[in-house]
Every structure is written in C-alpha cells, then in structure tokens.
Amino acid sequence: MRLNGRFGRFGGCYVPEILVPALEQLEAAFLDAQDDPEFIAELNRLLANYAGRPTPLTRCRNLAGNIYLKREDLLHGGAHKTNQVLGQGLLAKRMEKTRLIAETGAGQHGVATAIVGALLGFETVIYMGAEDVERQKLNVFRMQLMGAEVVPVTSGGQTLKDAINEALRDWSASFPTTHYLLGTAAGPHPFPTMVREFQRVIGREARTQIIEQLARLPDAVIACVGGGSNAIGLFADFIDDPVRLIGVEAAGKGLDSDDHGATLLRGTPGILHGAETYVLQDSDGQVTDTWSVSAGLDYPAVGPEHAHLKDSGRAQYVGATDAEALFAFKALAEKEGIICAFESAHALAHALKLAAEEPEIAILVGLSGRGDKDVAQAQALLGAGLVDEIQAKALLA
C-alpha cells in the first residue's frame, strides 16, 4: 500500500490475505486517477451533466433559526450516493473490470450502483439482506429495471451487515474481473479515503455557497452518520475551519434501549468489515443487531475517520431518535415543502434542537437524500402517532 490507511489508531486493511492485492490495485488506480486531469475532467462532466451538480444550498424560510440545507436530495438518484458511485465506476473502467458488486440496506446504494452499472456498461450484482428485499420491494424493482441482479442474502440477520459480508465473500473469488463498489466511507483501506475524496464535493460546494450567501462560514455543520460517507464528504473541507462539526447517529428507540444504530455513542473499538473502528458488539466481540427507522443508518460499524474525529474531539457525535427524526421529516415537509430521507431527517432533527438553543447561529445541514423511498413508512408511522405533540411544540417553538 502507498498510503498507510490509518486515522489515528483506526482504519487499516483487515481482510483475508487473498483480497490484499485487489485493494492494492484499487489504491493504485485511485491515486493515479487523482493525478490524471482526464479522469478528473470526465468525472466532473458526469457530475455536472448527468448527476446535476452543483446541488443548491437552500436557506430555510420558515423553520426557526438560520438553517441552510445542502441539497443532495436533488442529485440524480435522489441521494449523495451518486457522487461516489460515478467515481468508483470510472475507476472500475480504468482497472478494466467488467462486473460490479455492491451491498445495500434500504436499496439506496444498490440503486446508485445500478445507475452506474447501466450508464457505464457493467454486469451488476447487488447483495441485499433477504429481510430488506421484502421491505424495500420498490427499490429492488428499480435496480432490476436498470439491469442489476439483486441477490437476497439469507445469512445472519439478513440485513446490511450480512450483505457486506456476502459481497466480500463474492469479491474474494471474483476480484480479477469484479470491482466491489462499497457504499460508504467504511471498510478496508482504501475505501474510507477514496469514498471521502469522491464525496468531498458536497462540502467544497457548500463552503463556497454559504460564504456567498452569508458572507461568512457557518457556525455548525451537521450531517447524519450511517457508515459516514455524506458526513465525511460534508466535513472534509471544513476540518481546518473554526466551525463545529456534528455527526448525528440513529438513536432509534433511545440510546439507553437496545434498539439503536449509535455506533460511535454506544459502541466500543473493534474490527469489522476490514477496518478498526467503533462497533456495536457484546463483550465477546459478537456484532449485535441494530435498529433505526432509517435503513441507511442501521449499521453496527462506522467509517474509521469518524472514529478518529470523535476520539480527537474535532467532531462531536450525537443521537436523534426515530421520533425526533420523524418529527423533523414532517416539519421540513410542512414548513419548507421538502420531503427528505429519514436518514437526513436525523441531521435536521439535531439542527432544530441546536437552533432552538442558539437561535443566532448559522447551521449548515447535509440533506443527504430525498424521501420518496420513505413516504409509505412515514404514512404508517405518523398515522400511529409516533411524533409526540408536546415534543413537536417544544421543537417548533
């Protein structure tokens, strides 16, 4: 490896020996491509003319405080995922791979991978937990419509982490022809670094845009953290600025319950899916099941750079519960006419709290995706009264 792939004590490349050459090849291709003006130009053309960059920065008109939304929900594909699948897709071409594999939870990354598979002409196979296949039929059909094969994974808990396991297993036999298009800034080196660089465009644009609109930097930058890709992409260009960086994890049914996905807040250091990072696990090191209303935050590990940003104190990590996220989802729809992804609603939920505490500060929120995928679930949950009226009043006051 040319880079050390560490973020403080975290990160690394914990994979079976057989995959090390594949990761070395990927690192080399990535580093060479970064120095290749033609690669950069082609990626930028796709980001602009195919995916719709730059995405707008929208100041909320009606929600309290000074909240600015970085609108990744308006990107082709409906989430920030498209930024990095285009990057990795071009790299896979560069490495002359003919097949893409990917994992997906709710199906967002699967859809994004299917998009790039169709666009750039790859055979595409998506591993998806059998339970998720059942729950996300529409996204399964979207992937199939774009020519991808969806393979239900029946091992383990049949959710995202099991889909990653299965993709890694496929890759350990198929790497000569196949690129594993990992969906977030987690996993073995070079994925965390590479995905951050492909997502950096979010923060780079947002920084310029907010300076244009506000004539200064924001006071706080907030993003939701599942594996950590939209958050690290938003944070990256603000790391050296005097701004608060806040990652919001899924607090599910509460941080003190067993049903959450708050890896950084409740996990302990461990090694999962190729990286040393925080992991939700029992005292034997068995990885535990997670819960979040948003499938994209329902993951028992987290990108190693976030683990480092937490331990170094440069970023702060907090939780938002299912109910808080759902409340924010509803508030954004009612007040601003934007239906966001449940994942993004976690970031917004914390922004609303912060705006209530410190009304004068400027808050930049990564609105990582649109909520079309979540409306059916929202209808059921809101009907069931998950959003508490008192809480609603407190937050909207």
Partner 1 sequence: MSRYSAMFERLSGEGAFGAFLMLGDPDLESSAALLDAVIEGGADMIEVGIPFSDPVADGSVIQAAAQRALSAGVRVADCLELIASLRRRNSQVPIGILTYANIVLARPGFIRDSAEAGADSLLIADVPALEAQPFVREMEQAGIEPVLIAAANTPDETLKRIANLSKAYTYCVSRAGITGTHAAGQFDAELIDRVKQAGAPPPIFGFGISKPEHVRAALDSGAKGVICGSAIVNLVSRRQDVASFVQSLKAVTRNDSMAE
Contacting positions for partner 1 (CB under 8 A): 1, 12-21, 155-156, 161-162, 165, 168-169, 172-173, 175, 269-274, 276, 279, 281, 283-287
Residue 108 interacting entry, from ligand PLP, partner 1, none, C-beta within 5 to 8 Å by type: ligand PLP
Continuous segment of H or E residues that includes residue 54:
none
Among 52-60, 227-235, 351-359, 375-383, which window interacts with ligand PLP (CB under 6 A)?
A: 227-235
Distance CA 235, CA 255 (A): 24
Instruction: Provide the minimum distance between the beta carbon of 331 and partner 1 in the complex, in angstroms, as a whole number.
Output: 37
Our finding on whether 87 is near ligand PLP (CB under 6 A) is no
Per the CB < 8 A criterion, the answer to whether 235 and 221 are in contact is yes
Instruction: Provide the minimum distance between the beta carbon of 228 and ligand PLP in the complex, in angstroms, as a whole number.
Output: 5
Distance CA 324, CA 290 (A): 18
Query: Which residues have a catalytic role annotated?
Result: 60, 80
Residue choice 70, 93, 97, 109 for contact with ligand PLP (CB under 6 A): 109
Q: Tell me, what DSSP letter sits at residue 286?
A: P
Q: Tell me whether residue 87 or residue 187 sits nearer to partner 1 (CB atom).
A: 187
Residue 20 interacting entry, from partner 1, ligand PLP, none, C-beta within 5 to 8 Å by type: partner 1
Instruction: Provide the minimum distance between the beta carbon of 263 and ligand PLP in the complex, in angstroms, as a whole number.
Output: 11
Residue 152 interacting entry, from partner 1, ligand PLP, none, C-beta within 5 to 8 Å by type: none
Residue identified by tokens 């960086």 is 245
Instruction: Provide the minimum distance between the beta carbon of 202 and partner 1 in the complex, in angstroms, as a whole number.
Output: 30
Instruction: Provide the minimum distance between the beta carbon of 203 and ligand PLP in the complex, in angstroms, as a whole number.
Output: 13
User: Edge to edge, what strands does the sheet with 6-7 contain?
Assistant: 6-7, 10-11, 275-279, 268-272
Q: Helix, strand or coil for residue 155? A: coil
Sign of CA pseudo-dihedral 26, 89, 97, 227? positive
Our finding on whether 341 is near ligand PLP (CB under 6 A) is yes
Distance CA 389, CA 375 (A): 20
Distance CA 126, CA 140 (A): 9
Q: Strand 362-367 vs strand 66-71: parallel, antiparallel, or unpaired? A: parallel
Q: Which residues face 321 on adjacent strands?
A: 252
Q: Tell me whether residue 171 or residue 329 sits nearer to ligand PLP (CB atom).
A: 329
Distance CA 16, CA 163 (A): 17
Site residues (CB under 6 A) for ligand PLP? Answer: 79, 105-106, 108-109, 184, 224-231, 296-297, 341, 343-344, 368-369
